[in-house]
Amino acid sequence: MTARGKRLALILAALALLGGATALVLSAMRENLVFFHTPSEVAEGKAPFGRTFRIGGLVAPGSLERLPDGVTVRFAVTDTAKTIPVVYRGALPDLFSEGKGAVAQGKLGPDGVFVASEVLAKHDENYMPVEAQHAVDQAQRAAATLKP
Amino acid sequence: MIPEMGQFALALAWALALVQAVLGLAGAARGSAGAMAAARRAALAQCAALVLAYACLTASFLRIDFSVLLVAANSSTRTPWFYRLTGVWGNHEGSMLLWALSLSLWQAAVAAFSRSLTESFRARVLGVLGAVSVGFLAFLVLTSNPFERLVPMPAEGRDLNPMLQDPGMIIHPPLLYMGYVGMAVAFAFAIAALLSGRMDAAWARWSRPWTLVAWVFLTLGILVGSAWAYYELGWGGWWFWDPVENASLMPWLLGTALLHSLIVTEKRGAFRSWTVLLAIGAFSLSLLGTFLVRSGVITSVHAFASDPKRGVFILGLLALTVGVSLLLFAWRAPRLSGGGAFAPVSREGSLLVNNVLMASAAGAVLLGTIYPMVIDALHAGKISVGPPYFETVFVPLMVPAVVLMALAPFLRWKRDALARVLRRVWPELIGALLIAALGVWAMNHVTFGAFLGIALTAWVVLASLRLLVDRLRQGGAVGLAARLRGIPGSWWGMWLSHLGVGVFILGVTLVGALEQRLDVKMMPGEAAELAGYRFVLRGVSEVPGPNYTAQRGELEVWREGRMLTVLAPEKRAYFRSAMPMTESAIDWGVFRDVYVSLGDPTGDGGWVVLLFYKPFISWIWFGAIAIAVGGLAAALDRRYRRLARRMASVPLPEALPEPAAEAVR
């Protein structure tokens, strides 16, 4: 093989490697994207069953209760229009509290209860999780357009 | 008075940076020695001005001057002095000032410690760095003034975010910033090479130690950040694929590729355009990281404030930097082509594959990090890309990179035969597979991931030992001590860093395979068992702190009938903010950590307690430290200094033709 041919072979090999990496990235992306749904969307049945997604909004006041095992909690996430019950086993983040924004990741059970595998709250008391804010804004915008 | 002095110093630094940029670039283009010398002095003066500005802000914090908005917003009369000191960078404005200060320190270092560079080359490097500085100082002065006054002055401040009141926070940002900003030096060297058309072995030797030092800072910064997340967030994890973590990982990956590409440029004169492109890429990703962290597009502990104006400004700087440097690259890079030819199986070939894998990994992380933001910006919905994506992509890209990493030092430059190398290292390959099989069997944890991880570590360690033995066998009649001394620093650096990667992988693998977690409700006096350890909750009591009140739990840790220690995790409530804060308690060990943190009170006197058993997690930190120390050893290689002196005594013509460069080597 000439030097030129070898260089070409090398470039082709590098491109093949790059192509393989791209294919890997795209397939991983398709399988692991987590979509976000507002409580209203979940109530309307727009959220998928059996697939992990995120739900966010405010923790409905008075909804937080601890089950007898002491570790599992139930609460409800609301976007002020619709409310979705959530169950979660584990310790809640420091800034999780009723009336404050939270985002939960998990799957929707057949009984309409969202089984969270992860609960995220804010890192700072002044800020709202972007997704939680988005859910509330959406619901309020929807309410505003319905009223007149 | 002090804040005004700081503000003045900041404005002065901006003007000096402008002078430095203009005189540096124009002086080099026209060959004016006076202008070039002035640019060098401007760099030193700019650094002095920023040190002054930074000192003024620090003084305001230490004197608890609440008439400065930043001080009032980020400290209180009860904040301990050391957290007032670190509070300077525990906010957007102050941390950007630290960014600018780091940049000016790098510039002063280039101005002071680069006698070996030709006058015009140094002027160009300083000119480019000055231009970067102009952009960032303008950003500070126009959108993020740290010295803004607050009228009327409040009686008490709002205190520092409790999450940042931690020793890890004292060193994490400065280290990380020195790393981020250090990439600007590699970038400036690359741009100066494009401008002057000079990019030869000598250039690579100038550039490499600077890049190495920046990369070492970046490595340590990421390490400290990761350790901080581990013990401070109370979740027991050490890496979350959070956008902010990714923001520091991306320049690290490209920086790693750059270090390896520079070797080829230095030894063989090849990969030159590619090296320049990597330097541009690494710095662009540092800027992108700054944008992600500072613009408030993501919610995280690092996003102190979200002011869209700031995000747009940094995005503009990023676009300008990437645009101008890529244009320059397109225009000048054809001059840089060429270099020694090589066969696919060769040292060069293996380093090329390393580069492609590192760049692909950086690209994959970039995609996963910004894709949700792009989708959101287009109002196409809200999505997130979680750890499974990153793990799925990252592991397959890194496995061949690590296999090759241990093999590549055995390969010859230019051309080699795979069969020759495999004949040499087959015992190590087989040995690694046997150790891995034995390992998963002994751990009683037979999974492909654990097998792979142990096999990789064993392969890296065995191959590294073999490499050392082979190296020591050469060297003829001199004694072992002389042979050890004869090995250059850069070789030790490579060896140690590669070994560090092996240790790191072992830590990641074993903690992933063997860690155990238990979330349990405990009443005082109750016990829980995890991984052969018995935890007894003595009780939870209220303990006052300087600016908080803590609920402190006391847990006895027992093993085999013996009490090992008493851990005291806390749940703190800081006075000035309603924010509760979990402080985990860890019994550190070389082979395992026992990690405890307090969850919530259950209302009936009990507490949710999180118990973790984390085997070999320290090896993650050991590995990272070895990687960083290796980088430092390589940066301090005598070769760089000795050559530097020789270069200085024999001034080279600009744009050395390739054969001449060969001769110099």
- CATH number of the domain at A133, please: 2.40.50.140
Whether residues B602 and A66 touch (CB distance < 8 A) is answered with yes
Whether residues A124 and B610 touch (CB distance < 8 A) is answered with no
- Out of B131-140, B553-562, B596-605, pick the least confident: B596-605
Q: Are A22 and A88 found together in one domain? A: no
pLDDT at B326: 94
Whether residues B580 and A71 touch (CB distance < 8 A) is answered with no
Q: Which positions ≥6 away from A87 have C-beta within 8 Å? A: A72, A73, A74, A113, A114, A115, A116
Average pLDDT estimate for B62-83: 91
Q: Are A9 and A66 found together in one domain? A: no
Backbone angles phi, psi at B91, to 5 degrees: -160, 170
Residues in A 52-81 with any Cβ partner in B closer than 8 A: 54, 66, 69-71
What pLDDT band is residue B344 in, cutting at 50, 70 and 90?
Answer: confident
Whether residues A33 and B383 touch (CB distance < 8 A) is answered with yes
Residue A84, exposed/middle/buried by CB under 10 A (0-12, 13-18, 19+)? buried
Q: Are A138 and A88 found together in one domain? A: yes
Average pLDDT estimate for B43-58: 97
Q: Which of B156-165, B481-490, B549-558, B653-662 has the highest mean pLDDT?
A: B549-558
Cβ-based contacts of B343 with chain A (< 8 Å): 6
Contact predicate A78/A60, CB 8 Å: yes
What pLDDT band is residue B281 in, cutting at 50, 70 and 90?
Answer: very high
Q: Which residue has the higher pLDDT, B446 or B187?
A: B187
Helix and strand counts by DSSP (H, E) for chain B = 20, 11
pLDDT at A145: 67
Contact predicate B116/B195, CB 8 Å: no
Q: Are A19 and A39 found together in one domain? A: no
Q: Which positions ≥6 away from B584 have C-beta within 8 Å? A: B231, B232, B234, B236, B569, B595, B596, B597
pLDDT at B480: 82
A8 to chain B, any CB pair closer than 8 A? The answer is no
What pLDDT band is residue B663 in, cutting at 50, 70 and 90?
Answer: very low
Q: Which positions ≥6 away from B21 have C-beta within 8 Å? A: B127, B128, B130, B131, B133, B134
pLDDT at B642: 63
Whether residues A91 and B519 touch (CB distance < 8 A) is answered with yes
Chain B: closest CA distance from residue A91 (Å): 5
Backbone angles phi, psi at A55, to 5 degrees: -130, 145
Split into its structural domains, chain A has a count of 2
Is the pLDDT assigned to residue B74 strictly greater than 80?
Answer: yes
Residues in A 25-44 with any Cβ partner in B closer than 8 A: 25, 28-29, 31-36
Domain of residue A16 covers 1-33
Q: Which of A68-82, A113-127, B2-16, B285-299 has the highest mean pLDDT?
A: B2-16
Average pLDDT estimate for B647-652: 45
**Which residue of A124, A127, A131 is the best one to mutate when testing the B interface, meaning the one whose CB has the most B CBs within 10 A?**
A124
**A42 alpha-carbon distance from chain centroid:** 12
Chain B: closest CA distance from residue A56 (Å): 11
Average pLDDT estimate for B549-569: 94
pLDDT at B301: 46
Separation of alpha carbons B26 and B36, rounded Å: 8
Contact predicate B567/B587, CB 8 Å: yes
Cβ-based contacts of B386 with chain A (< 8 Å): 32, 34, 105
ipTM above 0.90, yes or no: no
Q: Which of A21-35, A42-56, B522-536, B635-649 has the highest mean pLDDT?
A: B522-536
Cis peptide bond upstream of B396, omega within 30 = no
A51 to chain B, any CB pair closer than 8 A? The answer is no
Q: Are A26 and A45 found together in one domain? A: no
Whether residues B367 and A24 touch (CB distance < 8 A) is answered with no
Average pLDDT estimate for B144-164: 87
Separation of alpha carbons B438 and B432, rounded Å: 10
Interior/surface letters B531-555, b for 16+ CB within 10 angstroms, e for the rest:
bebbbbbeebeeeebebbebbbbbb
pLDDT at B664: 35
Residues in A 129-148 with any Cβ partner in B closer than 8 A: 129-131, 134
Backbone angles phi, psi at B242, to 5 degrees: -75, 145
Q: What's the number of CA atoms in the CB half-sphere (13 Å) around residue B48?
A: 8
- AA identity, residue B286: S
Q: Are A27 and A39 found together in one domain? A: no
Longest pairwise C-alpha distance within chain A: 78
Residue B210's closest CA among B187, B194, B226, B231?
Answer: B187
pLDDT digits (tens, 9 = 90+) for B596-623: 999 888 888 899 999 999 999 999 999 9
Residues in A 93-132 with any Cβ partner in B closer than 8 A: 94-95, 105, 122-125, 127, 129-131
Pairing of strands A53-59, A33-37: parallel
Is the pLDDT assigned to residue B665 strictly greater than 60?
Answer: no
Nearest to A71 among B349, B386, B519 (CB): B519
- Rounded (10°) CA dihedral B503, B504, B509, B511: 100
Q: Which positions ≥6 away from B312 have C-beta within 8 Å? A: none
Instruction: Tell me the pTM.
Output: 0.90
Q: Which positions ≥6 away from B248 have C-beta within 8 Å? A: B176, B179, B180, B218, B221, B222, B225, B289
What pLDDT band is residue B279 in, cutting at 50, 70 and 90?
Answer: very high
pLDDT at B650: 42
- Helix (H) / strand (E) containing B127: helix B119-143
Separation of alpha carbons A32 and A25, rounded Å: 10
Q: Are A102 and A138 found together in one domain? A: yes
- Out of A98-102, A109-113, B308-312, pick the least confident: B308-312
Contact predicate A100/B578, CB 8 Å: no
pLDDT at B439: 94
A2 to chain B, any CB pair closer than 8 A? The answer is no
Q: Which residue of A has its CA nearest to B393?
A: A25
Q: Are A141 and A91 found together in one domain? A: yes
pLDDT digits (tens, 9 = 90+) for B251-264: 999 999 999 999 99
Interior/surface letters B274-302, b for 16+ CB within 10 angstroms, e for the rest:
bbbbbbbbbbbbbbbbbbbbbbbbbbbbb
Whether residues A124 and B579 touch (CB distance < 8 A) is answered with yes
pLDDT at B242: 84
Average pLDDT estimate for B74-81: 89
Contact predicate B368/B246, CB 8 Å: yes
Q: What is the DSSP string of B627-639?
A: HHHHHHHHHT-HH
pLDDT digits (tens, 9 = 90+) for A111-139: 889 999 888 876 554 555 667 777 777 77
Helix (H, G, I), strand (E, B) or coil at B475: coil
Q: Are A47 and A1 found together in one domain? A: no
pLDDT at B536: 96
**Which residue of A2, A33, A79 is the best one to mutate when testing the B interface, meaning the one whose CB has the most B CBs within 10 A?**
A33
Nearest to B608 among A34, A71, A129 (CB): A71
Is the pLDDT assigned to residue A102 strictly greater than 90?
Answer: no
Residue B64's closest CA among B2, B139, B145?
Answer: B2
Q: List B539's β-bridge partners, or say none.
A: B554
Q: What is the DSSP string of B182-223?
A: HHHHHHHHHHHHHHH---SHHHHHHHHHHHHHHHHHHHHHHH
What pLDDT band is residue A29 in, cutting at 50, 70 and 90?
Answer: confident
Q: Are A5 and A56 found together in one domain? A: no
Nearest to B352 among A14, A32, A90 (CB): A14
User: What is the residue-averaged pLDDT of chain B?
Assistant: 89
Average pLDDT estimate for A139-145: 73
Residue B475, exposed/middle/buried by CB under 10 A (0-12, 13-18, 19+)? middle
Residue B23 structure tokens: 């005189």
Helix (H, G, I), strand (E, B) or coil at B562: strand
**Number of A:B CB contacts under 8 A?**
126
pLDDT at B644: 55
Q: Are A41 and A90 found together in one domain? A: yes
pLDDT at A32: 83
Tokens 């630290």 belong to: B98
Whether residues A25 and B363 touch (CB distance < 8 A) is answered with yes
Cβ-based contacts of A28 with chain B (< 8 Å): 388-389, 392-393
Residue B444, exposed/middle/buried by CB under 10 A (0-12, 13-18, 19+)? exposed
What region does B307 belong to: left with phi over 0, alpha with psi -120 to 50, or beta? Answer: beta
Whether residues B381 and A3 touch (CB distance < 8 A) is answered with no
pLDDT at A148: 47
**Which residue of A6, A22, A94, A117 is the best one to mutate when testing the B interface, meaning the one whose CB has the most B CBs within 10 A?**
A94
Average pLDDT estimate for B214-243: 89
Q: Are A51 and A98 found together in one domain? A: yes
pLDDT at B296: 62
